[in-house]
């Protein structure tokens, strides 16, 4: 199997290596922010449509195109005010991501997670990013995810697994397997823009987000992450296929600061 894959010359090919990230979240906190009455109906419409589209009996397969199209059409109309947010000004933003202006490693502002609704069938949530903050490359096993940028600009890089799967074993102790993936997206999304969709095997099921400016993303995930049912979020590091044969496994270890820098603030703000 691997010998066949070695013949691939597609520059969009990369190897992905699993990366265990610890302490990604700080304890969940309550966020007391009342949504005004003019915004609640649209969130309610989204909830109602998700409830009819994503049912427990249908979790074993992706929804049909028609209800997904309806969800996209509704999400396309969302702005920050529809979920009770105000657009952040770049002048007020203090996040510098992995490096400060003088390229010295420093803490970034935390990513804020707003929990709108979660059940066995789907999750509705919002991520608020300061400039240069990052959600590392991660997967969505068996899931369909719709993402709508509410304000600001975000760089999205996404991959899909190459099928049939190609897994290379490491001969070095303590080094995990790597698997071949194909680039699905590498672009900047700037609000207002259309809704992005990923599916279990297409559309960029593995992706990472980097905030170009302060930005926020409304996500609908169906079904939600659930480790006991095999839907565990796994983080990866990508390496170009063309360079892989020249690398030695011990050097494929991602910088340890990643686990400490990505610390979203979890805010429980259920509105449904």
How would residue 209 be classed by pLDDT, with cut points 50, 70 and 90?
very high
pLDDT at 270 over 80: no
How far is Cα 125 from Cα 148, in angstroms, rounded to an integer? 11
Q: Which residue has the higher pLDDT, 157 or 108?
A: 157
| Beta-bridge mates of residue 144 | 222
Answer yes or no: is pLDDT of 11 > 60: no
* Domains of the chain, start order: 2-268 (2.60.120.10)
26-35, 194-203, 223-232: segment of lowest average pLDDT: 26-35
Residue 20 has pLDDT above 60, yes or no: no
Q: Does 260 or 12 have the greater pLDDT score?
A: 12
- By the 10 Å C-beta count (0-12 exposed, 13-18 middle, 19+ buried), 102 is classed as exposed
What angle is formed at CA 129 by the lines to CA 123 and CA 130, rounded to 5 degrees?
Answer: 165
Round the CA-based radius of gyration of the chain to a whole number and report it: 19
Q: For 172-189, what is the mean pLDDT? A: 78
Burial of 218 (0-12, 13-18, 19+ CB in 10 A): buried
Q: Are 96 and 133 in contact (CB under 8 A)?
A: no
Q: What is the pTM of this model?
A: 0.74
102-149 residue pLDDT tens: 444 445 578 999 999 999 999 999 999 999 999 999 999 999 999 999
Higher-confidence residue of 160 and 12: namely 160
The pLDDT tens digits for 86-112 are 887 665 555 444 444 444 444 557 899
- Is the predicted pLDDT of residue 272 greater than 70, yes or no? no
Q: Is the pLDDT of residue 23 over 60?
A: no
For residues 38-45, average pLDDT: 75
Listed range (19-33, 133-147, 198-212) with the worst mean pLDDT: 19-33
Better-scored residue on pLDDT, 65 or 260? 65
What CA–CA distance (Å, rounded) separates 132 from 98? 8
Phi-psi region of 142 (alpha: psi -120 to 50; beta: other; left: phi over 0): left
Examine the pLDDT at 85 and tell me if it is beyond 70: yes
């Amino acid at each position: 199997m691997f010998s066949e894959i070695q013949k691939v010359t597609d520059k969009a090919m990369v190897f992905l290596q699993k990366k265990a990230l610890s302490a990604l979240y700080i304890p969940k906190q309550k966020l007391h922010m009342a949504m005004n009455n003019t915004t609640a109906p649209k969130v309610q419409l989204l909830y109602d449509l998700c409830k009819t589209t994503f049912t427990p009996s249908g979790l074993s397969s992706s929804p049909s195109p028609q209800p997904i199209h309806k969800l996209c059409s509704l999400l396309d109309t969302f702005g920050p005010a529809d979920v009770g947010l105000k657009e952040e000004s770049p002048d007020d933003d203090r996040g510098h991501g992995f490096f400060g202006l003088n390229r010295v490693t420093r803490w970034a502002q935390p990513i804020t997670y707003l929990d709108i609704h979660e059940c066995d069938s789907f999750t509705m949530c919002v991520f608020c990013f300061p400039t240069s903050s990052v959600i590392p490359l991660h997967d969505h096993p068996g899931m369909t995810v719709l993402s709508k940028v509410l304000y600001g600009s975000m760089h999205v890089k996404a991959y899909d697994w190459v099928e049939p799967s190609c897994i290379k074993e490491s001969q070095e102790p303590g080094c995990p397997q790597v698997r071949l993936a194909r680039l699905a997206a590498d672009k900047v999304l700037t609000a207002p823009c259309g809704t992005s969709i990923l599916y279990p095997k297409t559309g960029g099921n593995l992706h990472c987000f980097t905030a170009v400016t302060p930005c926020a993303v409304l996500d609908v995930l169906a079904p939600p992450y659930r480790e006991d049912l095999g839907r565990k979020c796994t983080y990866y590091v990508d390496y170009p296929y063309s360079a892989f044969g020249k690398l030695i496994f011990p050097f494929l270890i991602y910088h340890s600061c990643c686990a400490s820098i990505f610390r979203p603030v979890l805010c429980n703000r259920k509105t449904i």
